[in-house]
């Protein structure tokens, strides 16, 4: 045998690495994560700082006696009919018609705000002389006149309040009349003369007080 035949033949093979689509996507995801990590995290303070301001509604010292969702109307002149004497029913808004009682002096008032805007659309004391009358052709609406303070000045107004059904309307009137009687008794007590002389006794007690300067 010749030497050439005895020597084994060796073959070298070269392999090329190919990347699959999944590997490319994974690599791309890693790059995106690196970019996100390198995003700026700087914070900027506002030039003007606004402080929280406590807004008072005027109802802080009152409790809700009852509340009824309804739609309020008022009878009067429109802007186009101003001064003509022509009056029509105008919608004031939808909201909760509430009766509020003051925690200190126990007086009651009717208050209604327009939903969303919370604008006051009716605000008057529960005067015992107010009479709720049924609205013509409707068993779920009441009409009454009163001195209202919703626009900042005491004005005589005619209101109509419409409810979802006659049952709710009846319940509202019962509550309203009951609170009127409570208000009437309260006012009668305030106007009652001092029969027991309590005012005189209080005055005498005040006269007996001495300050530290004397």
pLDDT digit string (tens) for 147-166? 999 998 999 999 999 999 99
Each as own residue / partner, the long-range contacts of residues 111-114 (CB below 8 Å, 24 or more positions apart, any chain) are 111/59, 112/70, 112/72
> Which tokens in the block code for residue 35?
């970019």
Name the pLDDT band for 11 (thresholds 50, 70, 90).
Answer: very low
Q: pLDDT digit string (tens) for 155-210?
A: 999 999 999 999 999 999 999 999 999 999 999 987 665 555 555 555 555 454 44
Name the more confident of 60 and 27: 60
């Amino acid at each position: 045998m010749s030497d050439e035949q005895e020597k084994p033949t060796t073959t070298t093979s070269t392999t090329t690495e190919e990347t699959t689509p999944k590997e490319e996507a994974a690599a791309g995801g890693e790059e995106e994560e690196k970019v996100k990590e390198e995003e700026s995290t700087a914070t900027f303070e506002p030039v003007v700082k606004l402080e929280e301001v406590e807004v008072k509604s005027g109802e802080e010292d009152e409790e809700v006696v009852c509340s009824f969702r309804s739609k309020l109307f008022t009878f009067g002149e429109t802007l186009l009919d101003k001064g003509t004497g022509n009056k029509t029913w105008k919608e004031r808004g939808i909201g909760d018609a509430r009766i509020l009682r003051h925690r200190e002096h126990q007086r009651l008032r009717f208050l209604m705000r327009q939903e969303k805007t919370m604008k006051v659309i009716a605000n008057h004391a529960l005067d015992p002389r107010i009479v709720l009358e049924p609205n013509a052709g409707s068993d779920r609406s009441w009409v009454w006149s009163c001195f209202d303070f919703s626009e900042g000045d005491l004005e005589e107004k005619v209101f109509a309040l419409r409810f979802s059904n006659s049952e709710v309307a009846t319940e509202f009137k019962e509550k309203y009349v009951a609170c009127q009687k409570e208000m009437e008794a309260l006012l009668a007590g305030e106007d009652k003369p001092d029969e027991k002389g309590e005012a005189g006794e209080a005055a005498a007690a005040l006269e007996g007080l001495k300050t530290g300067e004397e």
